[in-house]
Every structure is written in structure tokens, then in C-alpha cells.
Amino acid sequence: MFKKLSLSCIIIASTHQIIFAQPDRWQQRIKYNIDVTLNVSSNKLNGNEKIEYINNSPDTLSKIFFHLYWNAFQPNSSMDVRSRELGKVVVRKDKFGNNVLDWDSRVTNRISNLKENEIGYQRVNSISINGKKQKLIEHETILEVVLDKPMLPKSALLMDVNFEAQVPIQIRRSGRDNAEGIRYSMSQWYPKVVEYDYQGWNANPYIAREFYGVWGDFDVKITLDKNYMVAATGVLQNANTIGMGYTPAGYKPPKPTGSTLTWNFKAENVHDFVWAADTDYTHISKEVRKGLTLHVFYKSTTPANDNAWNNVLWAAEKALPYMEKRFGKYPYPQYSFIQGGDGGMEYAMATLLKGSGLGTVFHEWMHSWYQQVLGTNESLYPWMDEGFTSYAEEEVMAWYNENYAWQSPWITQAEKDAIKRNAEEDKLELPLNQSSNYYGYFNLVKSPYEEPLSTHADHYNTNIGYALSVYSKGAVFLSQLGYIVSDSVRDKILLEYYKVWKFKHPNPNDFIRIAEKVSGLELQWYKEYWINSTKNIEYAVGNINVDTTTNNAILTIKRIGKMPMPIDILITYKDGTSEMHYIPLDLMFGQKPAENNITRIIHPAWKWTHPEYTFTISRKIGEIKSVVIDPTERMADISRINNKLVIPN
């Protein structure tokens, strides 16, 4: 649908400010009221959900789907078999000549060895609408609910869901008794309504990775043994009854009258809910600005371990203003860093972490922007979440190390000295802050495992191909976009993208359209080449000849790879001066702004069909010291050895 734009949707020439209309894309809506009891002896859950589901779509729905994620943790499940099949793939040889297999090291064949009391399951006993039980068809990790009456567009229904579950031994994200000794990491723990969007039902079985959900409000009551501390999505409503660090220091809550406590959390406008519980959690927190409190939950083992987790809270507070300046305002009232992951995994208002490493801390928190607020369909477009988050992680980490890390009261002097030293070394890396993502992409290109970034997350042929593609190549997408439109314009694009598309599930074209509007350039070609193909970039400095009329130099640049790009060429002369020669790509229909004070000469656009480009400069060959293609190294040229020509004296 299109709406008429008001006069406010114009370019205001005096300030160069651009105001865009908000996209008119419908979203389903949901409200969960969940009441569960966890038996810590049997590791079983019993629960009820009262769900209000609102069909804002133009479609009549004859069925509704639910996720039953924990059914994946059973021998011979799709997740189990898929993991064991990938474990047969030899991806390389190690230095001793042994085969390196394509295992996800967290899963391997562990599911196949689970005993009956170690497996996970979720069983929906009944779903009722208006007192009438609905027909249920279970498809392993997907439950199909056949509605007795079709759900009309722009209508709502109430569902009563009764379910039971067994918490699996933690293998992947969810479960109990993990490697860090955390008793319960409760993710994907409740029957969750599948997202229905403009592409229909997204009923993805739980095979390996990535999630997608309906935004809504959660009111969750969790009852379990009174000796457990709970960390969760949302704001604790009965803190004065609970205590345990949720109330001011010195406050003593009333003693429980029974053997259990009930915790009540509420969260608004989120698409998932996670919680964790342990008898030995230490809870620290700080209100870092009005209306936002950060929490850290961890197991205290040594003084050094305590310091490391306190450093998480200190670093998060220091990094937040930069994160919001670069990527948009964090909109929720709390965020919790919770020890209890199998590495790190993002959820609404919380992350589960295996350890206190700040790289993972910043990565998982940045998911709040690109997964929890923007809510990209991770199954279809994992690079838009993991890639953008990896890019942001590197930017935040570099900024923090340069500005604050060495000031932390929670690290040793030796650690501070190392951080300063590494920060100085990082300044020598090109492109600044993103070198590890480029190296990951270059390793992908050298391997036989690259697939288009448009590949569904569960359908990559290898785990290694998935990881290098969506994390590294996805991150390079943004860094290289800065090369195409300029870093300053790219940064404006990211802020506008967040502002326009938060809480709307954007897809790749939605991002490209924002990038085009902000930059004034056509960019569909970039998406088609970088996302939908595996064509790569390689350019080379060709011959230098003499213009017989002027005796000035004629330079030839060669496109060897199949992906065309605009080209920056820095020519440095023997007298110490330099010029930036800029060749736009014809598919852009424009050029990026100048990025520095070096004299810039703009040439006619390079037609993408032409493998070579020749241009004349105003100086003679003997005056040239060097010619460098892409001196900032933001273009992901797979062989930079031929990007530079030095002319001897």
C-alpha cells in the first residue's frame, strides 16, 4: 500500500535533512500470560499459557503454528541427524595431517547419546479456544493447530494452552547443568507462536540455528525452589517479595512461607522471553541512566572471576552512549548479562554467556539492535543479524579499547598495558576496526564452502561455510558499503534504518532502499552481487602508457573478478603531492562525496560490462611515485598484491 506523503516528507534544502515516510507494513501482535512451575528434582515443567493473538494481516487463517523447540533434543531428531551428517564432512587437515570435521563442537553426536531422563521435550496437552479444544498435529518441533473456525483478518482470538516439558541436558542454548555449572538456562522453553508475515507462516523446524517471532507483551510467573535466583527477560514485578539483588542494598524481604517462590516478570514489545536459574548466582546491577538498569548474574569462583564479571557491568555502562550514538537508542528498561550459555546467545533484554569476554558481551548486546528491535527473519536473512552485529561488535570493541578499557578498575595493570599496546597495533590495520571480518571473508573465498548469503540459515551445506558467510561476509557488507557511499553516509544509513524499521521485520530490500534514499545512489546491484551471488572482487593496476599528444600518463585499470565496483585510485607523486582519482560505477548513477582533503578528480563512470578502464592524468610518468587501488582497503579485493604499482626512480 502507498500513502500520500504530507509536506513534511520533503528535502529541507537549508539543513540537508531528509525525512522519510514510515513504511506501512502490517505486523501480527500477541500477548502471553504464562504461569509455569519447575520441579528442580525431576527437571520437569508444567505450565499454562493464556494467549491473545491478533491477526493484523489481510488474510483469513485456518491454522496456527507453534514452536516446540525442546523436541529437537531427542535421539534421531532432525537436529541430531543433521549434526551427525555434517560431522562426516572433512573441511581441512590440521597441522598433524588429521582430518578436521565440520562439527558444531557444542552438539557433535551428543543428542544421540541422551538417556530418557536427559532428553528434552515439550508436550502440548490441549489448546482451547472459547472452551473448545482444537485439533493438534505434531511435526517434531512444530505444532500445527487446526482451527475449528477460521480466523478473519483484523480479528483476535484467545487461546488456553496447557503444556508440560522436560528440561534437557544443555547441548545447544537451552537446558540444565551446562559446562559452567549453571543449573538452568531456560531459552525456547515455552510453546511459542510462529510468526506469520507478508510471506506467510515461517514454520521453520529447529534444526540448528536462528529464530523469528511475533512482537508482543509477556506476563510470566515462574514458580520454583526458593533457593534459586532467577534472571530473566523483563522487569521483576514482585522484587520486594524476592530480594536477591533486585531491591536496594540492605533491604530484607520477608521469608518465604513455603518451599518455593514465584517470580513475576513483565516485558513489553519483545518477541521472546528467556530465563536462567541457579542457587549460587551473584547478582550485581546499576541504573546507568534514568529508566535503564543493567544486571549481571554469574557464579563467583575466584576473586579474578568476580573482577571479570564486574568489568562486564563497568564496560557495558561506558560503551552504551557510543552504541546509541552509532546505532540508535536502546528502548527497553533493563538488560541482563547472564552466565549460562554455550558461547553466547541473544534474547530479548538478556543474553546467555559462557564467559565474561567483552567481545562476546558487546556482540550479544548489539543483537538487541539487529535482532530484538529490528527483528529480521534470521532464518531467511541471518547475515542481516549476525553480519551487522559482528560489524557493530568490532566498532564498539575498538572504540572501547581506545577510550576506556585501560581505565577499568577491574583489570590488572598488565592487562591495561596490553590493551593500550593492542589498540595502537589495531590503528595500523586496514580497514580500521574490521580486519578480522575481512580475513574471515578472504578465508571463505579461498575455501570451497562459500554459498550465496541468500541461503536459508539451516540449509548451508557446512557449518564452517555458514559461519564465515553470515558473520564475516555479512559484516564486510557494511564496511564495504562505507567504501561505496562513504563511511559518514553509511553511518547515517544505519541510524535511519534503525529509526524507520524498528519493530517491523525488515528484509534486505528494505535496507537497500534506506541506503539509496540516504545516499542518493542506486544500490540494488550491490545487493544482487554481494548477497545473491558468490562473485568476488579483484582489480589490478594495468599498463601505464604515454599520451603522444600531451606526453602525460595514461593509466589502465583491470577488472579481473566478476563483481564490478566503483574505484578509488591514489596517485602519489615524487614531489610529495597526491591525487585521489575516483571512478564511479555506472550502475550507481552518481558518486560518493569526498572523504578527505586529498585533491579528488572524478572520472566518467566505468560501465560494468567493460573489463578495463583507461584514463589520462595531468602529469608525466616520470613524476609518478606510486599508484594504489583502494588505499583504505575497504573494498574486499581478494588479491591485493596487484593493487599497487611503485615506479622506481
Q: What is the pLDDT of residues 497-549, one digit of tens each?
A: 999 999 999 999 999 999 999 999 999 999 999 999 999 999 999 999 999 99
Q: Are strands 644-646 and 624-629 parallel, antiparallel or unpaired?
A: antiparallel
DSSP 98: P
The alpha carbon of residue 155 and the mean position of all alpha carbons in its chain are separated, in whole angstroms, by 33
* DSSP type of residue 169: B
Give the residue carrying C-alpha cell 563497568.
314
pLDDT tens digit sequence for 543-587: 999 999 999 999 999 999 999 999 999 999 999 999 999 999 999
Check if the beta carbon of residue 240 is closer than 8 Å to that of residue 247: yes
Report the alpha-carbon distance of residue 521 to residue 526 in Å, rounded.
Answer: 11
- Helices 358-367 and 303-327 cross at an angle (nearest 10°) of 40
The sign of the CA dihedral 464, 120, 365, 370 is positive
Mean pLDDT for the chain overall: 94
Tens-place pLDDT, residues 362-376: 999 999 999 999 999
pLDDT in tens, 262-314: 999 999 999 999 999 999 999 999 999 999 999 999 999 999 999 999 999 99
CA 529 and chain centroid, separation: 21
Angle at 570 between CA 565 and CA 573, to 5 degrees: 155
201-222 residue pLDDT tens: 999 999 988 789 999 999 999 9
Taking a C-beta distance cutoff of 8 angstroms, is the pair 218, 267 a contact?
yes
Span 609-621, average pLDDT: 97
Q: Is 368 helix (H, G, I), strand (E, B) or coil?
A: helix
> What is the C-alpha to C-alpha distance for residues 537 and 530, in angstroms, rounded to an integer?
10
pLDDT at residue 43 tops 60? yes
User: Can you tell me the distance from the alpha carbon of 336 to that of 494, in angstroms, rounded to the nearest whole number?
Assistant: 25
Burial class (CB within 10 angstroms; exposed 0-12, middle 13-18, buried 19+) of 558: middle
Q: Is the pLDDT of residue 433 over 90?
A: no
Q: Where are the beta strands (DSSP E) in 376-524?
A: none
pLDDT of residue 426: 74
Checking if the pLDDT of 20 tops 60, the result is no
**pLDDT exceeds 90 at position 152:** yes
Residue 17: pLDDT over 50: no
Quick: pLDDT tens for 421-430: 887 777 777 7
Query: Is the Cβ–Cβ distance between 82 and 118 less than 8 Å?
Result: no
**Is pLDDT of 6 > 90?**
no
The pLDDT tens digits for 460-471 are 999 999 999 999
Structure confidence at residue 276 (pLDDT): 98
Task: Give how far Cα 567 sits from Cα of 137, 313, 437, 564, 584, Å.
Answer: 56, 43, 21, 9, 6
Percent of the chain with pLDDT over 70: 96
pLDDT exceeds cutoff 80 at 23:
no
Superfamily designation of domain 301-534 = Neutral Protease Domain 2 (1.10.390.10)
48-102, pLDDT tens digit by residue? 999 999 999 999 999 999 999 999 999 999 999 999 999 999 999 998 999 999 9
DSSP state, residue 324: H
Q: Please, what is the Cα angle at 491 between 485 and 493, to 5 degrees? A: 70
pLDDT mean over 229-234: 98
Question: In this predicted model, what pLDDT tens digit does every residue of 88-101 receive, in sequence order?
Answer: 999 999 989 999 99
DSSP 534-580: ---B-EEEEEEEE-TTT--EEEEEEE-SSS---EEEEEEETTS-EEE
What is the strand order of the sheet 216-225 is part of? 132-133, 121-129, 155-166, 44-55, 29-39, 216-225, 260-270, 235-236
The confidence band for 5, taking pLDDT boundaries of 50, 70 and 90, is: very low
Q: Which three cell numbers mark 573?
A: 607523486
Q: Are 217 and 31 in contact (CB under 8 A)?
A: yes
Categorize the per-residue pLDDT at 16 as very low, low, confident or very high, splitting at 50, 70 and 90.
very low
Q: Which residues pair with 55 in a beta bridge?
A: 155
pLDDT of the residue at 10: 30
Which of 419-427's residues contact partners 24+ apart within 8 Å by CB, and which partners?
423/398, 426/398, 426/401
Residue owning grid cell 528442580? 40
pLDDT of residue 99: 94
Query: Where does the pLDDT of residue 612 fall: very low under 50, low under 70, confident under 90, or very high at 90 and above?
Result: very high
Output the nine-digit C-alpha cell for 447.
575455501
Are the C-beta atoms of residues 566 and 606 closer than 8 Å to each other? Answer: yes
- Model pLDDT, residue 22: 59
Q: What is the pLDDT of residues 365-415, one digit of tens each?
A: 999 999 999 999 999 999 999 999 999 999 999 999 999 998 999 999 998
Q: Is pLDDT of 482 > 70?
A: yes
Of the chain, the end-to-end C-alpha distance in Å amounts to: 64
Cis before 256 (ω within 30): no
pLDDT of residue 13: 35
CA distances from 488 to 261, 327, 384 (A): 52, 13, 20
Among 400, 438, 393, 396, CA closest to 635? 438
Strands 216-225 and 29-39: parallel
Domain range list for the chain? 75-113, 301-534, 539-646
Q: What are the backbone angles phi and psi of residue 372, rounded to the nearest 5°?
A: -80, -30
- pLDDT at 418 > cutoff 90: no
> At 30, which amino acid appears?
I
**545: number of Cβ within 10 Å:** 13
